[in-house]
Each structure stands twice: as structure tokens, then as C-alpha cells.
Structure 1
Amino acid sequence: MIEWSDATIKEFQTTLLAWYDANRRDLPWRQDHDPYHVWVSEIMLQQTQVNTVIPYYQRFMASFPTVEKLAQAPEEQLLKAWEGLGYYSRVRNMQRAARQLLTDNGGQWPHTKAELQKLVGIGPYTAGAIASIAFNQPEPAVDGNAFRVFSQLLEIDADITKPQSRSLFEEVIRKIISKDRPGDFNQAIMDLGSSYMTAKNPDNEHSPVKKFNQAYLDGRLDEFPVRSKRLKPVDKQYFALVIETPGGFLFQQRASNELLAKLWLFPLVDADQLKESHPELNATTIIKAVEEKFVSETEIQTELQLIDTPIVNHTFTHQKWHVTLLYAKLQEELDLSHFSGKVVPVKKFATLAWPTVQKKLWQAFKKRQIQLF
């Protein structure tokens, strides 16, 4: 790992911040230094591209302009506002943290990284971002961009997937961060990692910090950052039951301890579990087994049929779902007394908080309808 002299650190700060002043991205959450705005944007930006986040952020702020509004929001409204961003635990934790701010802090934001990390869902990166941008604290904000940028600048060969590496990077960056403009410094690193020093198709030849990039100068860019291979997502097989009644389609709300908790989907039957309990199943008997399992759990009787739609695939961080659609059209309304769901007419679909996989299921089914009718 390269260590910079004080003179090099000063030159780097000057070069980076001059470039940032001239080229900073015009983003809605950069119009001020309000900690609420910084917080919401940083949580949204986790695992999500900036261009995707911008309209979500604007709509979210229109609906929940203050910590108080966020704390008081009905969960259904909150999930609907987050619909499509994924990782729904983020917004649930935001609401918990908002309530924590009001009850424990009298609505006042902590100014230090250590105190900010006591709020639900705020980890070291988000705490560093808020502390530096909103409160001018010289705290690193170490995300994927910072890992990539500084590992290349200084040829840091620590594996960034290891938890202990974060402490190493924070220690290194704390020596380099501008004490006068820490928030701008961190945001400049974010912009640098999203422009010239991207993970794919970087343009280091024209980077404003090319002369400081030791990995580039040594021809070793492909060696940094050091990252262990990610585990392949586990394949999961499901049947989605598209059950149409005179009043609409049947939906089920996911349990609070399940993936996609509290979101609405077509009822799902775990095909893998079904095959484990019925090892003799084959293509001609499995639909009957799905019907039997569904009626045993819900007391809803159906006659399902396989429809000619492709299997719907959707990848989460640790799972990849492969969902087969089964369809039943019922002539009478359902008795839902033993079922944790409801029948929803098509015109009311927009009131439900749907995950992306449910949108895919509905689109697949609609295409089949077009073919049918």
C-alpha cells in the first residue's frame, strides 16, 4: 500500500475539490445540507443507480417532507412509495429511525458518526455521509465507490468483502479527507467513482486524479479492488396462483418474517418443498398437489391449469426465483375467512404495494390474456 506525504495529500485535496466544484452533479438532495435529505438519499442509493433514485426521492419528499411525516406514515403508504426500489427493510428501518429520533432525541439529529450509528438502519457509511455532509465532520463515507477509488489510488490489497477491511480504508481516508470540506470531499469521491473511475468502462486516462492513481501508473488497474467471489444466488422454484373471481384477482400479503415482507403477490406455493414432501411427483401430478396444498392451507378450492407463459425469473441478493404461473377462473366469490389475503379488482391494483417480481408476474399473465382473448 502506498502512503502519501502531507504535501501529496494537500495536492490531492486541492485537485479533487477543484474538479468537484467545476463538475459536481446537480442532484436534488444536494440543494442543501439538511441531514434528513442526506439520509433519505443515501438509503435510497444503496444498491440503486442515481438516475433511478431521483424520481423516487422527489416523490418521497413530496409525501414525507419531514422526519415527523415519515414517522407517522401508514406502512402501506410507505411501502407503496418505495415500490420498485427493492430491499424493503431499508424503508421500514427508516421509519423506525424516524420514530427513534422523535422519541429519544426530541427530533434533533446527532452530529457525530458514533451517535448517528445508534439510529436503526444507519451503518458506518451512511453515518459518515450524514456527519460529513450535514455537519462538516471529517468522517470518511466508505461505500463501493470509495473502496474502488482508494484501492486503486493507493494500491490497497485488502479484500473489500472482509468486514475488517472497512476499518483499514476508514483509517487511510481519515488521513486524506479535507478537514475544511469533508462533505464535498466525500461527494467528490462518489462522483469520481461514478464517472472516470467506474467499475466498468473507466476512463482513467482523462481522470482529474490520474497522476495520483498508482494502480493506473503501474498498469495494475485490473488487480484493484481485491474482492472475493460472491456466492451464487440459491435457485428457488415457485408456483404463482393467478386466481380470478367475479370481483377481481386473489392476492396474498407476505408475512413479516418472509422475503418481501408485507408486500402483495399472487399466492405462492413453494415447488421445492412440494417435491420434498412428494418425491413421486411428476409433470402430470404436480398441479393436483399444488391444489391440495393450497386448499389444506386456505380452504380455497380451485381447479388450476398450466398456461402458456414463460417461467418468470427474478434475482434477489441471495436467491433467484423461477416462478411458474397457474391459472384458475372461479364463478363465485371466495370465502377468505381462512386466508391472509383479499380479492382486488384490476382498477385497484395501484393501491397495493407490489414488489418487482409481482409486476413481472402480472405482465406475463397479461401477455397470455392477449393471446387468449
Structure 2
Amino acid sequence: MEHIAPALLQWFGQNRRTLPFREDPTPYHVWVSEIMLQQTRVAAALPYYERFIRELPDIPALAACPPDRLDKLWEGLGYYRRVHSMQQAAQVVCREYGGQLPADYDKLLALPGVGPYTAGAIASIGFGLAVPAVDGNVLRVFARLYNDPSPITDPAVKKTFTRRVMDHQPPDAPGDYNQALMELGALVCLPGGAPLCGSCPLAGLCQGRRAGTARSLPCKPQPKPRRVVPVTVALVRRQDTGEWLLQKRPAGGLLAGLWQPPAFEGERLDAPGAAAALAAMGVQTDPDSAQPLPASRHIFSHVEWQMTGWQLSAPPQQPPEGCVWAGPEQLQTGYALPGAFKAYRKFLLG
């Protein structure tokens, strides 16, 4: 196939979005942006990115940030494991590399939470190294460009696609080339069977377009059905101070280490059942105070929570181990609540 880089880079120069991490593409800025964008749209991530960089302008600041403050900066982005791994990696960078990311793909790849794509993005965009950065956008572009129906989730197929990506990469502009492919997938070669071929700089080279198969590519296996888990949420308000009870989740697993209202997974409890479950935690509540909360649901990657709940009042008491009482101001500024509990946030802040 004819080299795609000239047409692609010309298109990118004329159509690239102006983004803060492109205007100042230091390795740290590229890293933060790529971690945020793993599960978040660009428009939604931008205000978080700007606030994050403003408060944590370099790797030593990230490494030293108190965990609760770090979670608060990430609140609303979800998938908190991303930022926890990023802080672990920052601490490694401070210990081993003097607080600066290494200009070495393999060393970047060895950092916690840094996979092949992120390592490639940092190395190529931040350091100008000739390495691939192959994400879902790039896989989609190349599946259509080569009219290749191979399943892109197969590791061997990804390796083949990555070789093709590198066959076209200009050694003097690896960062722009990688960004141009990502941008093409984000703006033109769209997912969901809807490529905008009339706007594509590679339309004349695209074998999928020529064969009429572009809309059906790339091929992916059907996702496994999500496991549905009932969850009972308990909003417990202290009678004398108006504070709410928060519980810290375990250090491992889903929403690891985050604060939440008490929530009983795997159970749909009635009011007496919720009160009994709280009592088993060491929290006494007024048995006549229970008010039903609206039902809600939250979808994680492989799990769907179907939530119901109760609001209860509690007499003055010390919180049990792993719990705190928090007022609305503390909830606004000090404790990050996972997005799974978004439907109940208005009660806590009211």
C-alpha cells in the first residue's frame, strides 16, 4: 500500500483540534491526558485536565498528593484505579528517575498503570521516539484501510496491525503521525458503522471503502453480558449535627479505597433489613425514620449495580471503624464520591 503519512499529516495540520496537552506536550502532560482519556471523552475531560495540572503541575506534586485529595481531583471521571496507578508510577519515577519520566519506551512500559499504548503516546509525542501508539481508534482505521476482518481483540492481530502502523510511520514525525491516526479515528473514521469517508484524507487508499465493507469493520467478538448485582444504599444522617455517614471501601476491588454511603452489595433490603445491616456494622439508627430513596443503576465495565435505598436518622454516636461523619462542605471539598452514587448526591448535599 502507498504510504499514508503525507496525506494524513497534511490533513492533521489543517484539522487538528486545539487541546492544552497538544499546545504544551511535555511528557507529563501527555501522560495525564492519555490516562484521563482512556475512558472519557475529550470534551468531558478537559476541565478535569486543566484543574489537575493546575494543582499538580509536575510529577513530584502528583507523587506527594494526599490520596483523598487525589480522589477529589479525579471525582467525576470514574475508574479511579487509573489515578491510583498513576500516583504509584509517579512515586517510582521520583525514586528511580529524579522526578522526570524516562525517555525510554521499555522503562515507561514498566511503570504501574502504563500499557503499550500509553507508553507509546508518551514516548512518541513527549519525546519524539519512533514507536507505535495503537489504541481503538488506530485499530479501527487500519481494519478499514486494509479491509481486514480479523478480530482486533486478538493479541496476534494487534501485533499485525501494529507492524502495519509502523510501516507507515515517518521517523522524523512519530508523535504527529500517531496523533493524526488517533484524530482521524476520533473525527472521521468513526465507530458504530459510520465512517465519514467523504472527509477522509485516506479515502482513495482505503481498501474497505473500495470493497464496501468499511461500515462493518472492525470485527469484534460479542461482549459478555454484564453481571447484575442488587445494591441497597443507606443514607444515614446524624440527628444532632446533620452530618452523613461515609464508609471507606476496601483497598482492593471495585472502587477501591473510595468513600461512599454504606452500601450492601448483593442484597435488596427492606427498611428493617437495612437497619439491621447497619446495626451489624455498629451503627444504631431510629427504626421509625426510614424513608425510601429513588431507584438507580450504574454500569461498570462488567457489572451493573441496580440500586435501591433508604434514608435513616441516627442518634449521636461515634462512627465505626472505617467510617466518618461528614457535612455537606466536607463532601464538597474533602471526600470524593464515586459516580455510582450520583443519584443520591443531592440528598447528601441538600
1:233 aligns with 2:226: yes
Which has the greater radius of gyration? Answer: 1
Match of 2:43, SS? Answer: helix
Equivalence for 1:357: 340
- CA-atom RMSD in angstroms: 1.9
Q: Gaps spanning 5+ residues in structure 2: where?
A: none
Per the TM alignment, residue 199 of structure 1 is displaced from its structure 2 partner at its CA by 0.7
What amino acid does structure 2 have at the position aligned with 1:69? A
Equivalence for 2:113: 121
8 Å Cα contact 2:12/2:180 also seen in 1: yes
Identity within the alignment, %: 34
Per the TM alignment, residue 21 of structure 1 is displaced from its structure 2 partner at its CA by 1.0
Equivalence for 1:341: 323
Per the TM alignment, residue 293 of structure 1 is displaced from its structure 2 partner at its CA by 2.7
- C-alpha spacing 1:109/1:328, structure 2 compared with 1 (3 Å): closer
- C-alpha spacing 1:334/1:183, structure 2 compared with 1 (3 Å): same
2: CA distance, partners of 1:241 / 1:66: 39
8 Å Cα contact 2:274/2:310 also seen in 1: no
Q: Gaps spanning 5+ residues in structure 1: where?
A: 275-282
- C-alpha spacing 1:116/1:344, structure 2 compared with 1 (3 Å): same
2: CA distance, partners of 1:250 / 1:343: 5
Counterparts of 1:134-149 in structure 2 under 5 Å? 134-149=126-141
1: CA distance, partners of 2:345 / 2:187: 36
What amino acid does structure 2 have at the position aligned with 1:186? N
1:214 is aligned, of 207, 227, 244, to 207
1:325 aligns with 2:320: no
What amino acid does structure 1 have at the position aligned with 2:340? V
Alignment size in residue pairs: 346
What amino acid does structure 2 have at the position aligned with 1:300? Q
2: CA distance, partners of 1:55 / 1:135: 25
What amino acid does structure 1 have at the position aligned with 2:316? E
- C-alpha spacing 1:104/1:138, structure 2 compared with 1 (3 Å): same
1:311 aligns with 2:295: yes
What amino acid does structure 2 have at the position aligned with 1:268? A
2: CA distance, partners of 1:191 / 1:300: 55
What amino acid does structure 2 have at the position aligned with 1:35? P
Counterparts of 1:1-373 in structure 2 under 5 Å? 4=1, 8-9=2-3, 12-200=4-192, 201-245=194-238, 246-247=240-241, 248-272=243-267, 286-303=270-287, 307-330=291-314, 332-336=315-319, 338-350=320-332, 351-363=334-346, 365=347
Per the TM alignment, residue 233 of structure 1 is displaced from its structure 2 partner at its CA by 1.6
8 Å Cα contact 1:269/1:294 also seen in 2: no
